[in-house]
Amino acid sequence: MSESAREQDESAAQEAVDTKERTIPAGYTLDYISGKQIKETKKELVRQRVVRALIHEYGFSPEDMERDISIGGRKKVDVGIFHHGKPHRLENLSRVVLCRPEPTVGKNVARIRDFEQAAKDLEELETIMRDLEAVQYGLWTNSLEFFFLEKEQRRFETKCNPIGDWPMAEASVDTKDVLSDAHTRVADNEMLKITFRRCHNFIHGNEGMPKDAAFWQFLYLIFCKMHDEGLRTKQRQAWQRRFWAGPKEQFTQEGRTAIRGRIDSLFGEVKTHYRTIFRGNEEITLSDRALAFIVSELSKYDLTRTDVDAKGVAYQELVGVNLRGDRGQYFTPRGAVKLVIEMLAPKEGEVFLDPACGTGGFLVGLLAYMLALFRAEAKIQAGQENTLEFLNVHERLRDFAAAKVFGADFDPFLIRAAQMNMVLAGDGRGHIYNINSLEFPKGHLNDLETARKEIPLGSVDVLGTNPPFGSDIPITDTEILKQYELARVWERDGEGGFRNTGRLQGSVSPEILFIERCIKWIKPGTGRMGIVLPDGVLGNPAAEYIRWWIMRETQVLASVDLPVEAFIAEANVNILTSLLFLRRKSEEEKQAEALGGAEAYQVFMAVADKVGFDRRGNKLYKRTPDGEEIVVPRQHVERIRIGGRFVERVLTRSEKIEDNDLPVIAEKYREFLRQQDG
């Protein structure tokens, strides 16, 4: 981390020391209901996730909630929700939540139970609901399983029936908010990740499918969901929603059959509409029970309006579990992707390429960056735009993706995963090619001719990539090696440089060839790129000829060292890496330097010590010298449902500060560029 960033940290820490109430001791967290410090336990983490979702997704006000409500005897409700504006007395208690610690499953897939299998765990919740006349709805959760109940008062008995989801605040399952013309809700970031994981686990654990087969079945349904939402945007008043499940449909065979009829029709359209992704023989092979579960889980959300980053996080987590390859194909951490995109700062009129796109992390990161840019230009805030503003910004994003965003990979499974990731992000027309980028413009794979026309070498404005690398996956094909200067043997020329002997090496690590290929893919003079590389390329004495060649061909813009945590937590790869940023020199520049020598210039360099999480993926927060976590007040605009309508209000919450150097580095790089321009 840079010196100025360290000074910033020390300043924040000192400020927290001077203001004790703005720190949280180790082992404590902030309660989302009261804003007070509470002990952090496994169960408390589950409760805080649920409360966040109740506020952000369902529209409940924290003022109408209370924790640890005593019901009598030893019974206690973990979260109680009272009718809005009513005194917090049991006769005004409308909904109750029981929380249990999240089970430890390790690398195993957690099996999702149905209501019958969970009957014993639900007994306490049902007893509370029967004992309290005013309570209409209940929820039991351990953060992996969610069981929603609705009370039915009969003449001689009181029943607690399973339902697929709670209705929104101050609504009931009888209102249209949960039926086919329902107003879906924007997903809370953490809850969307949990929902995706639950859906995948349900298929894998309950259908007897291998993980990869379960993954593809889930993605087919994601496509159906996004296609249905896309039709809503196009057809407006004429639109008839098909991706939906009534609150009780999934619990009867009649309801499950109705859901399958709607989804089969929708999937047929999806395969026709996305001919470049689907071969046409794909089938949804899930049982009626599993299909109804997934549709019920996904139909509650408006994925189009849900934050691009949130969808990317949820999707990438599943992808990492199912498609992590054995040929160097691991996935770039989100923080590194965001830093690369921010430092490259692509413009709307520029062509962007990732020639080793994997599941599309850089491409989706680019869309998130451009969406934020478009919103800023239109002076609108995410989640607060009206329908027209939303449609205008997203149409602009789709047009940008259709014209300027390109990806390539030689793995056809990753190509499909990337295409699906892009559709989820809001683009259905992006260009992602099944080609071997190292062999290009030669080769034999499916999309070679199209790629030759649309992204020839020397045509790309901005390139961001994380190529496969490692000496255990060398390139030995002489037809490929012959294309590259860096595949030759180089020797010192006695004048501080190197000479190309013309002899081919027997094998070359792929990342070395990718450096040359990426440079040749961007425009001479203006094209710029950011690439993830193992530290050896930038530091090993044996790689000095590579660094000399890079300096001859490009202007080095920046170099950022990443800690091992960056990749070990998200990609399970224990390797030190750097981000290298380059601008390709024009032929005129190279000729002038060959005659008169290269002029000295400044290069931005930074070292990231922290990336927001440790090696195990646990989040890290800034602390005082005494080890206490620092909190700062932050304002949030939250939509609370009052009297059947949503009202926006500003809430100030104390929040911990993520210990992450990458955003600081991005800002320092922008300062560096401003100084260079000045």
Question: What is the pLDDT, as a whole number, of residue 177?
Answer: 39
Any idea which fold 323-585 has?
Answer: Rossmann fold (3.40.50)
Q: Are 132 and 93 in contact (CB under 8 A)?
A: yes
Q: Are 489 and 505 in contact (CB under 8 A)?
A: yes
Distances 601 to 152, 328, 558 between C-alpha atoms, Å: 75, 34, 11
Helices vs strands, H then E, count in the chain: 20, 21
600 by Cβ neighbours in 10 Å (0-12 / 13-18 / 19+) ranks as: exposed
What tokens does 407 get?
Answer: 């990806």
Torsion sign, CA atoms 652, 658, 659, 663: negative
d(CA 554, CA 547): 10
Question: What is the pLDDT, as a whole number, of residue 211?
Answer: 79
d(CA 327, CA 475): 12
Question: What is the pLDDT, as a whole number, of residue 84?
Answer: 87
Q: Are 571 and 611 in contact (CB under 8 A)?
A: no
- Any idea where the domains of the chain sit in the sequence? 31-178, 189-299, 323-585
pLDDT mean by block of 10 residues, the chain; 678 residues? 47 43 77 88 94 88 92 86 92 96 74 89 94 94 94 88 88 51 71 87 84 86 89 67 90 95 94 84 93 93 84 78 53 89 97 94 93 92 78 89 94 86 75 94 92 96 92 87 96 91 94 97 97 91 95 96 83 83 96 85 94 85 87 72 62 81 96 88
55 three-class SS? helix
R_g over Cα of the chain: 27
pLDDT in tens, 177-205: 344 444 578 888 888 888 988 888 888 88
Q: Are 186 and 302 in contact (CB under 8 A)?
A: yes
d(CA 182, CA 188): 18
Lay out the sheet containing 645-656: strands in order across: 23-24, 629-642, 645-656
253 three-class SS? helix
Helical spans, DSSP H, in 65-134: 119-131
Q: Are 500 and 485 in contact (CB under 8 A)?
A: yes
CB within 8 Å of 20: residues ≥ 6 apart: none
Q: How many CB atoms lie within 10 A of CB 22?
A: 18
d(CA 30, CA 486): 54
Question: What is the pLDDT, as a whole number, of residue 181?
Answer: 43
pLDDT in tens, 467-486: 988 767 889 999 999 999 99
